[in-house]
Structure 1
Amino acid sequence: MGGSKEYAVTVKAKERVAAVLPVQEHWLPLSNLDLLLPAMDVGVFFCYKKPPAKQSKTTFATMVSSLKASLAQALVTYYPFAGEVVTNPVGEPELLCNNRGVDFIEAYADVQLQELHLNNPDESVERKLLPKKKEGVLCVQATELKCGGLVLACTFDHRIADAYSTNMFLVAWAETAASKPISLPPSFRRSLLIPRRPGSHDPSLDRLYVPVSSLPPPPPPHQEAAVNRIYYISADDIARIQAAAGGQRTKIEAFTAYLWRVLARGARPEDKVCRMGAVVDGRTRLARCGEMAGYFGNVLSIPYGSLRVEELKDMDLAETAEAVHGWLRRATTAEHFRGVVDWVEARRPEPAVARIYVGEEDGGVGCVVSSGRAFPIGKVEFGWGKAAFGSYHFPWGGSAGYVMPMPSSRRNGDWVVYMHMLKNFLDLVEAEEPPVFRPLTADYFLADAK
């Protein structure tokens, strides 16, 4: 596959969109689970084809006008996205809900949707279609394409929202544009994550999380920087991997095991261990009756397993999936999440992070899988058709890889997979036989897009 088409992007206008109704200025403290996130931004983008001919009055100008008006309405309910993060007297971040507003950028890209090589978002998306957030919590860019299509991209502060919360907001924004009631109103009840008195936690959390002051020395730098790629995996290949993993494991467990073995094969001679982690959402674990279904914020834990590279190479997929199930299961209980809240409380105000993101004294390679199965690709519809394609984008800059599988816009059981990894691992992924990770092409995401 050839390189990405070079194209120019011209910024046409910048505006700040605030909530249409005044918001009483107030502070919203971050929960202990929010405090486990360092200051880093996450991107998400959606590609829309040119509106059908029957919508001849739908132009880029009318689409942008609708986006801004509905955003101003949605921010009344999702007001944290219109605020800004400040530092309190003890050095911790807090959210000032002051209706500062969202920076909204209008741009034009001299490229057609079918010419975007989205398999390589470093060249086709980064610094072009995805805005760099300079202030506030959320930044939005709407880009008109040469073909009349549109790319809507958002960059948000991960300390304020996880992907689940952002998905809720995106759906609510689209519902507002369609003059529909918001189907899942957000909850900002920080009391749902209040620490216990007295607090307690399992000693295993000292392995999963680490205070910043106790971070191990940084590992020797890799010769190459991580790169970003987007692939798709067919439903048949997902089923085949699940069957090879024993059939009793979930698709995401089987996928994680499959990736762990690929990671081991790509390890350098000096990498003796290979770590694989997974992002677990605690909402259903903490409140099985649904009280946290609309909780806005971070409710995440990142358990991981560590195996020696040579041991991993000798394991079959079913054995590896059993290992994944073992360390994942321990983080899927209410007690685990309550323990994480208490663990953070015992160390405040010192910041802490998930250990797998920063490595360990023994070096090695690591990767985190974050299931994006709830990605609302079919629901972020503003009145000119469903998105032909959508993906998260998280080039976070650390040494550990980050992988997010999401449902395809084709709604046929395929997955779209965003990957942030060292290139030698991606070369291995692409060379797998039979092939599993297929480079995303316009032929794939524009064919039969629903």
Structure 2
Amino acid sequence: MNSGDYSITIKRSDVVAAVLPVQEHWLPMSNLDLLLPPLDVGVFFCYGKNNKKNPSPENMVIVLKKALAQALVSFYPFAGEIVLNSHGEPEILCNNRGVDFIHACAEVELNNIDFYQPDLSVHGKLVPVKMNGVLSVQVTELKCGGLVVGCTFDHRAADAHSANMFLSAWAEISRAVPITRLPSFRRSIFNPRRPPQPHNSLDKFYTPPNPSQNGESHNTLTSRIYHVKSESIDLLQSETRRSKIESFSAFLWKALAECGTDHAKTVKLGVVIDGRIRLSSETMPLNCYFGNVLSIPYVEASVGDLQTASLERAAEMVHDCISTAATTEHFLGLIDWMEARRPKAAVVRVYCKDENDEAAVVVSSGRGFPIQEMDFGWGGPGVGSYHFPWGGETGYVMPMPSVKGNGDWIVYMHLMQKHLDLIEACASHVFEPFSANHLTSQD
């Protein structure tokens, strides 16, 4: 029987610093970094016992720690701290403080972990709660001889693309192969234009933070992890004739509206857009840039309109929303928009769910996550997922590829309970609760 009720024992806590000395310096945050509030993102990978490859758990931990110390030489911001400068803005103090590294053991077997309910089985057990620094790591031995590698990082320092680079490099170093991509920290790439040319249209998507929204949420959100078959995604796409993420987002958007009884209320859908492709050029490629290069435009519609709209129409609206931000000019304007407001903070408006909202949700895309590259020397993981219970009342949904590499998705969802219940009741053919049957064997 799957379980979230198991005990964790801390065997050892260390701080892992870069193996080579780092010249202490301040790394400023770009204008795009400054749009992110203090949010911690978790990710984890689970490895079953493989008698053909696995060394002992103790040796596996030694490999991970040694490789981490080497990876931090190149990815040194993860070994630093985020502090406020004289203007009250956050910056990364690259001082090689190190990464908090926990070695733990869990009284549970991999097949018995209830990944479907990660708030019980993963949060604070397999994924560490970050206390200090920019990155925390926990490696947990399982009763079956397997291992879980969990990481939590400060979103202000890195987006998913940046974290992917780091995790891939960490795995490559563990296998004693050269790092595929070395990070770039060239903040001048995101200097504002002179004079700045902010777009007033960005006021729709970004806003100064409202102190009244910093308190406790009135509606507690719940996390779930689902398995979505590639056939289900293909079917949605065939109905909409849009991209997979647009089709999936439209389907989710309409599903949230089905909970509403007040047809005048709205449902907001934000979609995370990576600006690297939009800002890259032959002389200035951004594929290796480490930091945040994101925008989160959103679209909204009334409950009544969404309930009556076809899936194709909803997907068209999602496509139009994404198109507004998927341009070079949008990101250049966003950099200028933030420059005009510094040192005052700003926040993505869709994060600020208001009283007239039936629901607000952000869909991010972790589909580029290199899950099959997460081989630290003993084979790939049996499952991997994000865990992002970020607080507030705006939901968060993150699809990432299944380790099977067959087009299936693992989807992390952080929504109100009533919305999760409805999705499971009405869309069980799409969202399968993740279970041991979805684990990939390493045997």
CA 186–10 in structure 1, closer or farther in 2 if over 3 Å, else same: same
In the alignment, the residues of structure 2 paired with residue 88 and residue 210 of structure 1 have an alpha-carbon distance, to the nearest angstrom, of 22
* 1:398 corresponds to: 392
In the alignment, the residues of structure 1 paired with residue 314 and residue 177 of structure 2 have an alpha-carbon distance, to the nearest angstrom, of 46
| AA aligned opposite 1:352 | A
* 1:28 corresponds to: 27
8 Å Cα contact 1:271/1:363 also seen in 2: no
| 1:426 aligned residue (406, 413, 420) | 420
SS in 2 for 1:204: helix
* 1:178 corresponds to: 175
| 1:343 aligned residue (327, 337, 340) | 337
8 Å Cα contact 2:257/2:358 also seen in 1: no
Cα deviation 1:394-445 (Å, max 9, x = unaligned): 0001111100111001111111000000011111111125611000001111
8 Å Cα contact 1:216/1:360 also seen in 2: no
Cα deviation 1:52-82 (Å, max 9, x = unaligned): 2x346x1111000000100010100000000
| AA aligned opposite 1:225 | T
* 1:236 corresponds to: 231
Residue 211 of structure 1 and its aligned partner are, at CA, apart by 1.2
In the alignment, the residues of structure 2 paired with residue 171 and residue 433 of structure 1 have an alpha-carbon distance, to the nearest angstrom, of 34
| AA aligned opposite 1:74 | A
CA 309–219 in structure 1, closer or farther in 2 if over 3 Å, else same: farther
Unpaired stretches in structure 1, ≥5 consecutive residues: none
| AA aligned opposite 2:28 | P
In the alignment, the residues of structure 1 paired with residue 343 and residue 290 of structure 2 have an alpha-carbon distance, to the nearest angstrom, of 22
Aligned residue runs from structure 1 range 307-386, under 5 A: 307-360=301-354, 362-386=356-380
In the alignment, the residues of structure 2 paired with residue 219 and residue 294 of structure 1 have an alpha-carbon distance, to the nearest angstrom, of 34
Cα deviation 1:147-198 (Å, max 9, x = unaligned): 0000000010110001110010000000111111110110000011111111
| AA aligned opposite 1:19 | A
In the alignment, the residues of structure 2 paired with residue 24 and residue 259 of structure 1 have an alpha-carbon distance, to the nearest angstrom, of 47
In the alignment, the residues of structure 2 paired with residue 331 and residue 439 of structure 1 have an alpha-carbon distance, to the nearest angstrom, of 33
Question: Cα RMSD between the aligned structures?
Answer: 1.8
In the alignment, the residues of structure 1 paired with residue 215 and residue 11 of structure 2 have an alpha-carbon distance, to the nearest angstrom, of 43
| AA aligned opposite 2:272 | V
Give TM-score, length-normalised by structure 2: 0.96
Cα deviation 1:2-52 (Å, max 9, x = unaligned): 773421100000011000000111110000111011112110000001132
Residue 288 of structure 1 and its aligned partner are, at CA, apart by 4.2
What count of residue pairs does the alignment treat as equivalent? 442
Residue 269 of structure 1 and its aligned partner are, at CA, apart by 3.1
* 2:89 corresponds to: 92
* 2:221 corresponds to: 226
Aligned: 1:265 with 2:258: yes
Aligned residue runs from structure 1 range 203-222, under 5 A: 203-212=200-209, 215=210, 218=213
Aligned: 1:408 with 2:405: no
Aligned residue runs from structure 1 range 123-142, under 5 A: 123-142=120-139
In the alignment, the residues of structure 2 paired with residue 109 and residue 309 of structure 1 have an alpha-carbon distance, to the nearest angstrom, of 44
* 1:118 corresponds to: 115
CA 254–14 in structure 1, closer or farther in 2 if over 3 Å, else same: same
SS in 1 for 2:23: coil
Aligned: 1:164 with 2:157: no
Residue 271 of structure 1 and its aligned partner are, at CA, apart by 6.5
Give TM-score, length-normalised by structure 1: 0.95
SS in 2 for 1:10: strand
